[in-house]
Amino acid sequence: MFTPILATLGYVLAPDGKRVLMIHRNARPDDAHFGKYNGLGGKLEANEDIVTGMRREIREEAGIECVTMKLRGTINWPGFGKDGADWFGFIFLIDAWNGTPLTENPEGMLTWIVVADILSLPLWEGDRHFLPLVFDPVVEQFHGVMPYRDGKPLRWNCEVVRSNTGQASTS
């Protein structure tokens, strides 16, 4: 039976649209994400819809309130989690927000990164496949599957809907 952990992953854009708020997971050496940069997010709670869950995670992790956000895509990560747990993520781009972002939280330091520089950071190997799609203005949405084994992605299959065609294509 497929019973994935449902999660959100959000990328908060700076008002200039050229930088994104990311967390450098450097606070807890026992963290599976230790040393990596990531978007903000986490597990969906039983009483939440996915948008409410994303808003809560951004509030908890960055101390800001989402005003507008776009669902950029979904990713099925079978085998990604602890003991091979399956995860299913809803990926958002937060393009308007209120407040002053925190500079750190219990997971690590929050840092503004130039979007064009993201792929040069220490990331999960699999993030390199979907992150360009999150910030691509021609991509309306993407929906992918990325099976993991022993902390490594095995493959990446993805359907991409492009705004200039409205058609889905496999990448």
Angstrom distance (rounded) from CA 5 to CA 136 = 27
Are the C-beta atoms of 68 and 96 separated by less than 8 Å? yes
Which residues lie across from 77 on neighbouring strands? 87
Angstrom distance (rounded) from CA 70 to CA 7 = 15
Q: Which fold has domain 5-170?
A: Nucleoside Triphosphate Pyrophosphohydrolase (3.90.79)
| Domain residue extents for the chain | 5-170
User: pTM for this one?
Assistant: 0.93
Position 165 scores a pLDDT of 63
CA contacts within 13 A on the Cβ side of 72: 24
Alpha carbon 67 to its chain centroid, in Å, reads 18
Position 171 scores a pLDDT of 63
Position 78 scores a pLDDT of 96
- H-helix or E-strand containing 24? strand 19-24
Tokens representing residue 50 in the block: 């996915």
Tell me the average confidence (pLDDT) per consecutive run of 10 residues in the chain, 171 residues long.
94 97 92 90 96 98 98 96 92 98 96 98 95 96 96 95 71 63
Of 120, 125, 119, 51, nearest in space to 90 by CA:
51
